[in-house]
């Protein structure tokens, strides 16, 4: 097995974990938010929907920045979210499209392409293999959060805060705005 094949397998496995965590989530579950008892920013509002849209935005942006010459900008992500929030079914469709984009963004890489540094959303560049590994772990990490929220958070009829506004607040200073 090549290094690239291993990265593809890891990405597919992490996506499967995430998909299983989201399977059967109702809109009321997706919108539910546990009370924030800490001072840390979670990269989301703490709802399942917020987490799903955070993952989607990262898949689009990191694929774009690292592998597609920043063809997508954070401001476009915010505008896309504005178009369908707070719909849970639309959020799931958006997440699926984001995953397809992410996988396609690095599909043509060879093992030789994995080591050179790539631009990132961070202040430093990373080798392609590391960016791909980070995104796989990102799916698995958030799958665990979603599993816990499904267990702990009661359903609600109140939509969560806008993820588009979260993007505007926290990504406006990004070089990919």
CATH number, domain at 88?
Answer: 1.20.120
Share of the chain above pLDDT 70, in %: 98
Q: Is the peptide bond before 86 cis (omega within 30 degrees of 0)?
A: yes
pLDDT over threshold 90, residue 122:
no
Asked if residue 61 is part of any domain, the answer here is yes
- Alpha-carbon dihedral sign for residues 75, 115, 108, 55: negative
Asked if residue 65 is part of any domain, the answer here is yes
Asked if residue 98 is part of any domain, the answer here is yes
- Alpha-carbon dihedral sign for residues 107, 109, 114, 120: negative
Give the pLDDT band (50/70/90) at residue 34. confident
Instruction: Supply the pLDDT for residue 10.
Output: 98
Tokens 């979670």 sit on residue? 42
3-state secondary structure of 33: strand
Evaluate whether 32 touches 149 at the Cβ level (below 8 Å). Answer: yes
CA 160 to chain centre: 17
pLDDT over threshold 70, residue 17:
yes
Q: Which of 163, 148, 113, 129 is nearest to 34 (CA)?
A: 148
Structural domain tally of the chain? Answer: 1
Asked if residue 153 is part of any domain, the answer here is yes
As a whole number, the mean pLDDT across the chain is: 95
Instruction: Supply the pLDDT for residue 28.
Output: 97
pTM assigned to the model: 0.95
Asked if residue 96 is part of any domain, the answer here is yes
List of E strands, 13-149: 117-118, 126-127
Asked if residue 21 is part of any domain, the answer here is no
Residue 105 is part of which domain span? 45-171
9 Cβ contact list (under 8 Å, min separation 6): 1
Evaluate whether 117 touches 127 at the Cβ level (below 8 Å). Answer: yes
Asked if residue 36 is part of any domain, the answer here is no
Asked if residue 38 is part of any domain, the answer here is no
Rounded mean pLDDT, 93-120: 98
Tokens 């080798």 sit on residue? 127
Instruction: Supply the pLDDT for residue 101.
Output: 98
3-state secondary structure of 118: strand
């Amino acid at each position: 097995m090549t290094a690239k094949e291993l990265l593809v397998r890891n990405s597919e496995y992490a996506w499967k974990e995430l998909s299983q965590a989201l399977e059967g989530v109702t809109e009321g579950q997706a919108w539910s938010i546990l009370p924030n008892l800490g001072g840390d920013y979670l990269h989301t509002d703490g709802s399942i929907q917020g987490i799903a849209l955070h993952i989607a935005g990262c898949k689009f942006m990191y694929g774009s920045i690292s592998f597609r010459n920043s063809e997508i900008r954070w401001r476009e992500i915010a505008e896309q979210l504005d178009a369908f929030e707070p719909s849970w079914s639309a959020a799931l469709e958006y997440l699926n499209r984001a995953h397809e984009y992410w996988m396609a963004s690095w599909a043509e890489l060879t093992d030789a392409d994995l080591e050179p540094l790539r631009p990132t959303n961070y202040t430093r560049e990373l080798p392609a293999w590391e960016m791909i590994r980070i995104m796989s772990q990102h799916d698995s990490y958030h799958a665990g959060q979603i599993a816990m929220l499904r267990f702990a958070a009661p359903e609600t009829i109140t939509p969560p805060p806008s993820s588009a506004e979260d993007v505007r607040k926290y990504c406006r200073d990004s070089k990919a705005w």
